[in-house]
């Protein structure tokens, strides 16, 4: 019950995504797909990210794969770069407790925002991940 309340709270705090499109990847009658979604960083104005994730037909659990690309979409980027942001985007990947998550970090030495997309499970393999960077020297 405690985990369920945590998931409900976490999903209510993240960025809202817009579905951009879907690609069919396999299957004859029931097709597996890859969904492309877009979201704006909720605390940094001027950065948008696109994530892809596989969706399995007739399955309660999707693969753990994650892919992300983030870019500057406004002339200037504003916000609190110094503070890491956890769970800026989350998407359920199974019926029970498996989610794709996006976190943001600031690389001060290179003046760059670093976004990481990864899938969290309660147990098992959590190795699937992808990163994207947004250099800030262009945005100031």
**Residue 14: C-alpha distances to residues 42, 57, 77, 104 (Å):** 8, 26, 19, 12
Three-state SS at 13: helix
Can you give the pLDDT at residue 124?
66
Question: What are the phi and psi torsion angles at 58 (to 5°)?
Answer: 55, 40
Q: How many domains does the chain have?
A: 1
- Decide if 119 is inside a domain: yes
Residue 101 lies in a domain: yes
Q: Is residue 140 part of a domain?
A: no
pLDDT confidence of residue 65: 81
* pLDDT tens digits, one per residue of 108-125: 999 999 999 998 776 666
What is the maximum alpha-carbon separation in the chain?
51
Residue 95: inside a domain = yes
Summarised one tens digit per residue, pLDDT across range 7-63 is: 343 444 457 889 999 999 887 888 888 899 999 999 999 999 999 988 777 765 656
pLDDT in tens, 64-99: 788 999 999 999 999 998 889 999 998 876 666 778
pTM assigned to the model: 0.79
CB 59 within 8 A of CB 76: no
Domain annotation covers residue 48: yes
- Alpha-carbon Rg for the chain, nearest whole angstrom, is 16
**Cα angle 97-14-4, degrees, rounded to a multiple of 5:** 30
In a domain, 51, yes or no: yes
Residue 39 structural domain:
2-135
In which residue are the tokens 């770069």 written? 81
Evaluate whether residue 69 is within a structural domain.
yes
């Amino acid at each position: 019950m405690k985990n369920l309340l945590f998931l409900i709270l976490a999903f209510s705090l993240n960025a809202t995504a817009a579905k951009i499109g879907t690609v069919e990847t396999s299957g004859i009658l029931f097709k597996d797909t890859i969904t492309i979604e877009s979201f704006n960083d909720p605390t940094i104005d001027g950065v948008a990210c696109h994530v892809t994730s596989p969706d399995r037909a007739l399955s309660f659990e999707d693969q753990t794969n994650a892919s992300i690309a983030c870019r500057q979409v406004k002339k200037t980027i504003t916000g609190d770069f110094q503070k890491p942001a956890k769970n800026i985007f989350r998407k359920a990947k199974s019926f029970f407790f498996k989610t794709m998550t996006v976190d943001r970090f600031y690389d001060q030495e290179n003046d760059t925002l670093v976004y990481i997309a990864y899938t969290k499970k309660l147990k098992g393999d959590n190795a699937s991940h992808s990163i994207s960077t947004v250099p800030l020297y262009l945005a100031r």
